[in-house]
A and B are shown apart, each in its own frame.
Chain A
């Protein structure tokens, strides 16, 4: 019986990728905390996950057709199609147009890191289970 490693790992492999993409976004937000006019962005994890699952089940999302090299293709993160990036609704935007709330971003970053590590633990458990099955001990 062939084992699909992707299937065995379940949603966790995709979740890990999405979490790392979100880390990158939040890092960009924090780095631009003092840039005039910068607008903080984030991924809605739930809808991004649903979108990824839609891709996995064959329902490809609708993209604009690019017929010339001058056309701008869909946004990518790590070379894979980017989940929909959304602008954060600012609680107190500053006068220079920057919408980064450093505290909020820090909290989101910490939360994202913990969830990344949780996903890692799930994956680790899956691999340990596989090792037990292989070695039979």
Chain B
């Protein structure tokens, strides 16, 4: 039965968006994880989405989403002059992650809305199938 594929598609969308929400949570949680070494400091993580067709069969319409990988933002961390910080390097600098909190908040809202969209799709598909099962009664 084909309509079950809608659940697969919406499910893949939900799982992809929850990965995105996960990375947002990590980024926000680590926004202030400073380090004395600019190479060791936390880097903002972002998922890379990709449209997939193969795992859902060869149907033209079944295009789910997969997370191809998590990439780290390679922008340079911002240096702060905090000589009193025990983590500071020889010059008195600590390095803060390249996490942009505003961007992360926007990403969070976008991910949450997209997730809700997929939940709605799933609910609607479920109701449609139940209505079809009641056909003729």
Contact = CB atoms under 8 A, between A and B. Distances in A.
B110 interface: yes
Contacts of A75: 59-60
Interface in A82-137: 82, 85, 102, 106, 109, 113, 116-117, 120, 123-124, 127-128, 131
B128 A113 contact: yes
A37 B48 CA distance: 11
A76 B60 contact: yes
Interface residues of B, number: 40
B100 interface: no
Contacts of B5: 24
Given A23-B128, A30-B117, A35 B61 contact: no
Interface in B1-52: 2-3, 5-6, 9-10, 12-13, 16-17, 20, 48-51
Chain A interface residue number, banded: 35 or more
Interface in B32-81: 48-51, 58-65
A28 B114 contact: no
Can you list the 6 inter-chain pairs with the closest CB atoms, starting with the nearest? A31-B13, A75-B60, A78-B2, A127-B136, A28-B63, A35-B49
Interface of A: 16, 20-21, 23-28, 30-38, 41, 75-79, 82, 85, 102, 106, 109, 113, 116-117, 120, 123-124, 127-128, 131
